[in-house]
Structure 1
Amino acid sequence: MTVNDDVLTNWNSREEIAESMIPIIGRLHREKDVTVLLYSRSLVNKSVVSILKTHRFARQIAGGELSVTETLPFLRALTSLDLGPSQIDLGMLAATYKNDTRGLTVEEFTAEAVAGAVGPDKLERREPRDVVLYGFGRIGRLLARLLVEKAGSGNGLRLRAVVVRKGKGDDLVKRASLLRRDSIHGQFNGTITVDEATNTIIANGTAIRVIYSDDPTTVDYTEYGINDAILVDNTGIWRDREGLSKHLRPGIAKVVLTAPGKGDVPNIVHGVNHDTIKPDEQIISCASCTTNAIVPPLKAMADEYGVLRGHVETVHSYTNDQNLLDNYHSSDRRGRAAALNMVITETGAASAVAKALPDLKAKISGSSIRVPVPDVSIAILNLQLARETTREEVLDHLREVSLTSPLRRQIDFTNAPDAVSNDFIGSRHASIVDAGALKVDGDNAILYLWYDNEFGYSCQVVRVVQHVSGVEYPTYPAPAA
């Protein structure tokens, strides 16, 4: 047998193993409301090749490739347990088992590691919480995709309606088509049909009522069977408490804004300060995509090294608020053609840090340059630390944070030598540390943080919605404090 034959045989064997994992992952998701992860990446509804690629990606953050032969025994062990709703990370199970010296079997170790998801203390499955999307643009449609994807188990969150202004012509058909096809994020993963008689878009079995309205104060959501819902405002038209309170109509219990809030509206970055949301708070903001990108790594650096001051420069993809060609715009420079120019503009991310990290006394300044790419941005975070360190120490710290800390869903890590912005389209993390670009000189550290300012941010929004709805399920093994 030649070397080529050996390689192909090995690949075919791993394909077969990954194929056997798919129905197990699917049953756990549908029947138990358990999401199987691999280093914070969901394996639900993934293909054979996607499962293998996710295992191979582990080498970038854990130092070595993780094989499906290592994770399959843990997946099988999960099937023998009476699990409650949860998220279970096979990568973390395999890694911690390797370091365990007690001689436990895989089954014994797995039962111990996920003990909080079984027995009398486990969460019980509950009725899904209604969600309404007010606005159906870039973020609104990505949120719809994520909510439909998470509806597979029949629990958690349930997208009931979207509210939009009535357009001319085939409005419903065109909105369904925009949900089905996306020039950046690709085809919708599933099927979409339209019921024009009831103004409904049906996506993978989820019936989404399209409500036409120009004024939030005119809608009674109970007329559509919607109750105690969380409304996500994607328009950014209203950003203070007075304006957002217009959404608190019959059927709506809470409002979540996908833009920086003004005044006393809490600005929440999931993973950092979501636990400060008061149970009776009806209006919250998810801040901006850039705030979500910089605050988690800033917290990670501040906790370990202390931060005296910093500056963030965002090189940001253009957005719909800019002009396609030169034309009048109320803001300086944004009237110039977005796809042809680098455009210096402002960012509120630096000032928003104080709301998300009130204990951080360091002054953080910021500015932004819009550039001619449609998605994925990079934040350059220049920090003066409270003590000197080395590049190797910072890399080890951030790599460990991305793997085992409570911020592991927010911070990703890559050491790919030729990484570019397109590589991070579809990332579900708030930001990705570029190891190759990191610079450290004594007490000065410069972090380069990629982020999908559309999809990664939308994932953060969904996490906040899950938290305030009470369906944010615990992750096992529990991350290190």
Structure 2
Amino acid sequence: MSGSNNTSQRIRVGLMGFGRIGRNFYRLASETPNVEISVISDVGQPEILHYLLQRDTIHGSFQHEARLENNRLLLDDGRSSEMILGVAPGDVPWNSYDVDLVVDATGKYLGKAHMEAHLAAGAKRVIITNLPDEKIDRLVVMGVNDDTISPSDRMISAGSSTTGPVALMLKIMDEKFGVDRAMMTTIHAYTSDQPLADTAGSDFRRSRSAAENIIPNETPTAKWLGAILPQFKGGFDGIALNVPVADGSCVDITYQFKNAEATVEAINEAMFEAAGKMPDIIEVTEDPVVSSDVIGNRHSLVFDSKATMKTKGRLVKTISWYDNGWGHAARLLDIIQAYARFNEKEGAA
């Protein structure tokens, strides 16, 4: 399932949070004719938010003309978004804007009570752009478990930029070769909640300068992987290393296969096969790429076929690259399209 399977009806989206993921999502939605972000809720001033949309340090200038008039963002194709002040779930009366679903891209409100506050304010569905704090209706990873989504889902997580490539790699390797257990390290670009200078925070290591250090960090992907792929519950763990790079991340996974027969060539061939089945989600490269090469790449992962390694026994290592902002926003669009198809079927019934 991918973003190419768009519905014919226009999808009206309410967006809370116009930070990096929110703006990436807006940019991608502007290239998707059947998606309209009807209202944008954020704590920032509309003029500054408009400026940040137009001029992005990583992705460059916005390719559309987008005017700001009377706190309304007007796209050159006629679509428009009202920009309003909203701090937390429950602040915005979503039923007043007739939206089909709400995307919470704040990265802050990850509990069930927060999502219920959106629903109580009139949202029909809520999709958070991070992993949740607790079990909710559905945690969706495109290409892994999107075939399990249901019309009854109301509280949904789109996972995270790291969860996508990790779950995809584990699913493919397990189905093809059988995996006993696995460990991962994501070498991740720094994030907006890290300080540029040493600053006292709630976490010792994350109090250090993101611009000057490689910082070990816990990753919730390890906790939630077992919920996505139950066969790995208790058999998977991992860590993140946040590095002084603005964008472009990679995930290094070490697997213990169930048998020693798989070769490097067979592993790479399995990924070429997977990319053929999911061309919008997986890319395989034979080029000697580095992190900046994947900036602006919409795939969940770019598999590095030159980096595949295997010992004489059952130990295997793979490396996959991903744009930790852009690719994740692209999958968010795919998830929205998938749920909109339920609405289209209900309307036709």
TM-score (norm 1): 0.67
> Residue 341 of structure 1: CA displacement?
0.8
CA RMSD for the aligned pairs?
A: 2.0
The equivalent residue for 1:232 is 103
Q: Aligned equivalents of 2:292 and 2:343: distance in 1?
A: 30
Q: Aligned equivalents of 1:140 and 1:471: distance in 2?
A: 24
The equivalent residue for 2:347 is none
Return the letter of the residue paired with 1:464: I
- Aligned match for 1:398, one of 243, 246, 271: 271
- Aligned match for 1:386, one of 258, 264, 268: 258
Instruction: Report matched runs for 1:427-438 at 5 Å.
Output: 427-438=297-308
Instruction: Report matched runs for 1:211-230 at 5 Å.
Output: 211-223=84-96, 226-230=97-101
Question: SS where residue 445 of structure 1 aligns?
Answer: strand
The equivalent residue for 2:296 is 426
Q: Aligned equivalents of 2:58 and 2:91: distance in 1?
A: 34
1:127–1:292 Cα change, 3 Å: same
Unaligned runs of 5+ in 2: 345-349
Q: Aligned equivalents of 1:449 and 1:363: distance in 2?
A: 20
The equivalent residue for 1:416 is 287
Q: Aligned equivalents of 2:297 and 2:8: distance in 1?
A: 29
Conserved? CA contact 1:375–1:452, under 8 Å = yes
Return the letter of the residue paired with 1:188: F
Higher strand content, 1 or 2: 2
Return the letter of the residue paired with 2:38: R
> Residue 362 of structure 1: CA displacement?
6.4
Unaligned runs of 5+ in 1: 1-39, 43-85, 88-122, 474-481
TM-score (norm 2): 0.92
Per-residue Cα deviation, 1:286-340 (whole angstroms, up to 9, x for no partner): 1121111211111110100011011001111100111011111112211111111
The equivalent residue for 2:132 is 261
The equivalent residue for 1:186 is 60
Percent identity, aligned pairs only, is 31
The equivalent residue for 1:294 is 166
Question: SS where residue 253 of structure 1 aligns?
Answer: coil
Instruction: Report matched runs for 1:59-208 at 5 Å.
Output: 126-151=8-33, 155=34, 157-165=35-43, 167=44, 171-196=45-70, 199-205=71-77, 206-208=79-81
Conserved? CA contact 1:318–1:370, under 8 Å = yes
Return the letter of the residue paired with 1:162: I
Instruction: Report matched runs for 1:310-329 at 5 Å.
Output: 310-329=182-201
Return the letter of the residue paired with 1:443: R
Conserved? CA contact 2:72–2:82, under 8 Å = yes
Return the letter of the residue paired with 1:133: L
> Residue 347 of structure 1: CA displacement?
0.9
The equivalent residue for 2:179 is 307
1:352–1:204 Cα change, 3 Å: farther
Q: Aligned equivalents of 2:334 and 2:143: distance in 1?
A: 9
1:360–1:333 Cα change, 3 Å: closer
> Residue 159 of structure 1: CA displacement?
1.2
Question: SS where residue 316 of structure 2 aligns?
Answer: strand
Conserved? CA contact 1:192–1:203, under 8 Å = yes
Question: SS where residue 369 of structure 1 aligns?
Answer: strand
> Residue 276 of structure 1: CA displacement?
1.4
1:254–1:465 Cα change, 3 Å: same
Question: SS where residue 263 of structure 1 aligns?
Answer: coil
Conserved? CA contact 2:188–2:241, under 8 Å = yes
Conserved? CA contact 1:315–1:378, under 8 Å = yes
Conserved? CA contact 1:308–1:362, under 8 Å = no
Bigger RCO of structures 1 and 2 (CA < 8 A, at least 6 apart): 2
Q: Aligned equivalents of 1:361 and 1:343: distance in 2?
A: 26
Per-residue Cα deviation, 1:221-270 (whole angstroms, up to 9, x for no partner): 343xx225211111122212112111114542000011111222132111
Q: Aligned equivalents of 1:415 and 1:219: distance in 2?
A: 48
Q: Aligned equivalents of 1:144 and 1:126: distance in 2?
A: 19
Q: Aligned equivalents of 1:248 and 1:172: distance in 2?
A: 25
Q: Aligned equivalents of 2:342 and 2:212: distance in 1?
A: 44
Q: Aligned equivalents of 2:187 and 2:121: distance in 1?
A: 42
The equivalent residue for 2:334 is 463
Residues 1:243 and 2:139 aligned together: no
Q: Aligned equivalents of 1:413 and 1:472: distance in 2?
A: 34
- Alignment length (residue pairs): 339
Per-residue Cα deviation, 1:153-190 (whole angstroms, up to 9, x for no partner): xx3x221111012x4xxx22211111111110111111
Question: SS where residue 252 of structure 1 aligns?
Answer: coil
Conserved? CA contact 2:14–2:99, under 8 Å = no
Per-residue Cα deviation, 1:71-93 (whole angstroms, up to 9, x for no partner): xxxxxxxxxxxxxxx65xxxxxx
Structure of larger gyration radius: 1
Q: Aligned equivalents of 1:137 and 1:275: distance in 2?
A: 30
Q: Aligned equivalents of 2:342 and 2:152: distance in 1?
A: 16
Conserved? CA contact 1:466–1:472, under 8 Å = no
Question: SS where residue 401 of structure 1 aligns?
Answer: helix
Question: SS where residue 201 of structure 1 aligns?
Answer: strand
Question: SS where residue 217 of structure 1 aligns?
Answer: coil
Q: Aligned equivalents of 2:80 and 2:237: distance in 1?
A: 45
